Amino acid sequence: MTETADAREADRALKAKHRTMWALGDYPAVATQVVAGLGPALVEACGVKDGDRVLDVAAGSGNASIPAALADADVVACDLTPELLAVGRKEAEARGAVLSWQEADAEALPFEDGTFDTVMSCVGVMFAPHHQTTADELVRVCRPGGTIGLLSWTPEGFIGQMFATMKPYAPPPPPGAQPPPLWGNEEHVRTLLGDRVTGVEARRRALRVDAFREPEDFREFFKAAYGPTIAVYRSIAGDPERTAALDGALADLAAGALRDGAMDWEYLLLTARRATA
């Protein structure tokens, strides 16, 4: 194999690994039972309206896509993991939302340049491994003057700290892969988008999560439902001491965040316009 062929093969293997990871557990339960408020918040911030052509990238089971469709936009929801799209289709049908679902890689979107009025992602594209490639694709498929909207967990917030807690127990990332919570850093995202956008507005907000009464409730739910957490535990399944240590670390993290049965999970909500020239 040439170096280029090797790189393509490595990328295919990495994407297959990501696809499998997000199919683990029950991410739709996370989306509907824990973080349901994020999608509507992003749709509102993007100003989605009747007739807008909207692309939701790394849409999962439709946390943002379905609210956008219910606002009478013309929505395409795309994701790397077909299992999540299948759940989204059923949820959309149950809620009377009409939209299109398409399997797609955020780093190689199968759409023409300037196709969409709004291109958005709700805690989705942050998990694509190559940040600049992903940002380039978001800008490319957005029409000049159109809106790009991104909602991402911050490094300092609870989910960012959860990833930091799991990192010592996880296999090392492949070369070139960047940490997901960097998308929650305003300067990082501004650098990715560069002068191809204007009117950037970035706000740090917090999602109130009251789904877990005890620290162990959070830990056990995420061990059972959240793909990245499941994958880390699988990687240390043969080491009871490390498994117990991670159990304790995640419970401690949640204990430090719980106040009267609720937690505040910080995220960055960033919107911008694609430059017209």
Rounded to an integer, the average pLDDT of 27-51 is 97
Q: Which amino acid is at 29?
A: A
Residue 244 included in any domain: no
Q: Which residues contact 205 (CB under 8 A, 6 or more apart)?
A: 41, 266, 267, 269
Sheet strands side by side (includes 197-209): 100-103, 74-79, 53-57, 116-122, 142-153, 263-274, 197-209
Q: Which residues contact 238 (CB under 8 A, 6 or more apart)?
A: none
> What value, to the nearest 5°, has the Cα angle with vertex 235 and ends 35 and 263?
25
For the chain, what is the domain count? 1
pLDDT for the residue numbered 47: 98
Residue 234 included in any domain: no
* CA nearest neighbour of 200 among 124, 263, 139, 134: 139
Question: Percentage of residues in the chain with pLDDT exceeding 90?
Answer: 93
Q: What is the pLDDT of residues 250-261, one digit of tens each?
A: 999 999 999 999
Question: Which region among 7-16, 87-96, 152-161 has the lowest average model confidence (pLDDT)?
Answer: 7-16
Residue 250 included in any domain: no
Residue 102 included in any domain: yes
**Run of H or E residues at 76:** strand 74-79
Residue 11 included in any domain: yes
Residue 136 included in any domain: yes
Q: What is the pLDDT of residues 163-208, one digit of tens each?
A: 999 999 999 988 889 999 999 999 999 999 999 999 999 999 999 9
pLDDT band at residue 1 using 50, 70 and 90 as cut-offs: very low
CA 198 to chain centre: 23
Expressed as residue numbers, the domain containing 19 is: 3-208+263-274
Residue 268 included in any domain: yes
Residue 230 included in any domain: no
pLDDT band at residue 2 using 50, 70 and 90 as cut-offs: low
90 to each of 9, 35, 86, 95, 263, how far by Cα in Å? 34, 19, 7, 9, 30
User: Looking at residue 147, which CATH number applies to its domain?
Assistant: 3.40.50.150
Q: What is the pLDDT of residues 88-103, one digit of tens each?
A: 999 999 999 999 999 9
Q: What's the token pair of residue 109?
A: 């979107």
Q: How many CB atoms lie within 10 A of CB 230?
A: 18
Q: What is the pTM of this model?
A: 0.95
Cβ burial, residue 203 (10 Å; 0-12/13-18/19+): exposed
